[in-house]
Amino acid sequence: EAGVAQSPRYKIIEKRQSVAFWCNPISGHATLYWYQQILGQGPKLLIQFQNNGVVDDSQLPKDRFSAERLKGVDSTLKIQPAKLEDSAVYLCASSLGLSLHYEQYFGPGTRLTVT
């Protein structure tokens, strides 16, 4: 079974530029998560999708971050414009359903450096 795919693995941009990350979850997984993980901290949930609908985006900085999952499969997270504090690893995860009753499968992450 293929795991969660993410691209790119690494990205370096200057502040005020834009960047986009892509995630392809495990086939059949209805729930998709985007997390931000700053060095030395745990993953922080940015947005959670159930199929193509948003379940929670309360911690997504909506003035600069956006995410979509148009066909209920793969997803894109965008930052525009980037700030220095956005430097982090962006993790995508998927699971069979809502709640921690289901285990989350994580991708390898995209390491973003904003200079």
Partner 1 sequence: SQKIEQNSEALNIQEGKTATLTCNYTNYSPAYLQWYRQDPGRGPVFLLLIRENEKEKRKERLKVTFDTTLKQSLFHITASQPADSATYLCALDIKSYIPTFGRGTSLIVHP
Maximum Cα–Cα distance across the chain: 40
Q: Quote the CA–CA distance of 20 and 102 in Å, as a whole number.
A: 28
Length of the chain as a residue count: 115
Whose Cβ is closer to partner 1: residue 59's or residue 80's?
A: 59
The interface with partner 1 within residues 42-101 (CB under 8 A) comprises: 42-45, 48, 55-56, 91, 93, 98-101
Whose Cβ is closer to partner 1: residue 56's or residue 74's?
A: 56
The position carrying tokens 């309360």 is: 58
Q: Quote the CA–CA distance of 36 and 103 in Å, as a whole number.
A: 18
Closest contact distance (angstroms) between CB of 17 and partner 1 is 24
Determine, following the binding rule CB under 8 A, whether residue 26 of this chain makes contact with partner 1.
Answer: no
Instruction: Answer for the pair 31, 102: CB distance below 8 angstroms, yes or no.
Output: yes
Contact positions vs partner 1 (CB under 8 A):
4, 33, 35, 40-45, 48, 55-56, 91, 93, 98-101, 103-109
